[in-house]
Amino acid sequence: MEQAREFLKRDDCLLLLVDVQKTLLDPCVRQEQVVKNCHALIEICQILDIPIVFTTHNAEKLGPFLPELVERVANPTILNKLEFSCFENDSIRSAVEQLGRRTLLLAGMESHICVFHTGAHALRLGYRVDLATDAVTSRSEENRLIGIKRLQQAGAIMSSTEMIIFELLNRAGTEEFRKALPLLKKL
| Domains of the chain by residue range | 11-186
Q: How far apart are CA 37 and CA 54, in angstroms?
A: 15
Helix (H) or strand (E) holding 129: strand 128-137
10 Å CB burial of residue 150 (0-12, 13-18, 19+) is middle
* pLDDT for position 5: 79
Q: What is the CA radius of gyration of the chain?
A: 15
- pLDDT tens per residue across span 98-153: 999 999 999 999 999 999 999 999 999 999 999 999 999 999 999 999 999 999 99
- pLDDT tens per residue across span 152-167: 999 999 999 999 999 9
* pLDDT for position 6: 87
pLDDT tier for residue 2 given thresholds of 50, 70 and 90: confident
Fold of 11-186: Rossmann fold (3.40.50)
Q: Name the pTM for this structure.
A: 0.95
Residue 59's CB is within 10 A of a number of other CB atoms, namely: 18
pLDDT tier for residue 29 given thresholds of 50, 70 and 90: very high
